[in-house]
Homo-oligomer: A and B are copies of this chain.
Amino acid sequence: MPAKQSRKPLAGDDPSDYDQPSVTVDLVLLTVREGQLHVLLIRREAKPFAGRWALPGGFVRIEESLTAAVRRVLREKARLTGIFIEQLYTFGAVKRDPRTRVITVAYYALVSEGQLIRAIGQSADLARMPVHVAWQGEAGGQAEVRGPGGKPVRLAFDHKEILGMAVKRLRGKLDYSPVGFELLPETFTLRQLQQVHEAILDVKLNKPAFRRRMLDKGVLQATGRRETGVTYRPAELYRFVDAAGSNNREEN
């Protein structure tokens, strides 16, 4: 029972009457590379779990909103700004951090492959690793991360659970929200978009049906330009145009 932050243990409706849990944010930064989901991980230096791979995160400061804390973590640890983030879930099991009571508000962020590669740069403490989340069965909903040698990587804290939830959330939102576009560069081909969907959902999709569905949504704008550097017929490049409904409050 860590009681190092003791204050008066009185009952009541005032925040300072009780010991308070600490609050952190943790970030699941995802991208799609070669048809597979990848996550950004950081190697922990300090205890607990020193040496283990973990999701980037940090404490929420007293005059900092949750999204501001996430953006600060993103800036400090991965030198990334202006990317898509969304709140995932808040994890508050009493023993999830062996030190003291820590409640973490998890967010997920989506970037294109190129952005993630630039973010990692030469750092030895940052890595992108492939993630696989089974739909059901023995490992139903459990995230599996594989390291360079292809062998499973154990994450710090409850980060495996957080990662699994992020992938499941992404799967759920893919159909009815434009999250898929956040994983691609500014312009992209329909084939790339389909590969992103296939990587997230872990299924093969029907080409004509996929094209119809996407084009019928009315959020894709043909650029008139085509991809370059391919040896076959180059595909049209599209751009995502938000269908007026950009309800980003962004103050939490």
Contacts and interface: CB of A to CB of B under 8 A. Distances in A.
Could you tell me the dominant secondary structure of chain A's interface residues? loop
Interface of A: 1-5, 7, 13, 15-24, 46, 58-66, 87, 89-94, 99-103, 105, 140-141, 247, 251-252
A131 to B, nearest CB: 20
Contact of A66 (B59, B62, B92, B102): B92
B93 A252 contact: yes
Contacts of A3: 62
Given A65-B93, A90-B252, 9 more contacts: A4-B16, A5-B16, A13-B46, A18-B59, A18-B62, A19-B61, A20-B21, A64-B94, A140-B247
Q: State how many copies of this chain the complex holds.
A: 2
Nearest to A68: B94
Given A16-B4, A20-B20, A23-B23, A252 B63 contact: no
Contact of A21 (B62, B100, B101, B247): B62
B87 A105 contact: no
26 contacts: A1-B62, A4-B16, A5-B7, A5-B16, A15-B99, A16-B22, A16-B100, A17-B59, A18-B62, A19-B61, A20-B20, A20-B23, A20-B59, A21-B23, A21-B60, A21-B62, A63-B94, A64-B94, A65-B94, A66-B103, A87-B89, A87-B90, A91-B252, A93-B251, A93-B252, A141-B247
B64 A15 contact: no
Contacts of A101: 62-63
A102 B15 contact: yes
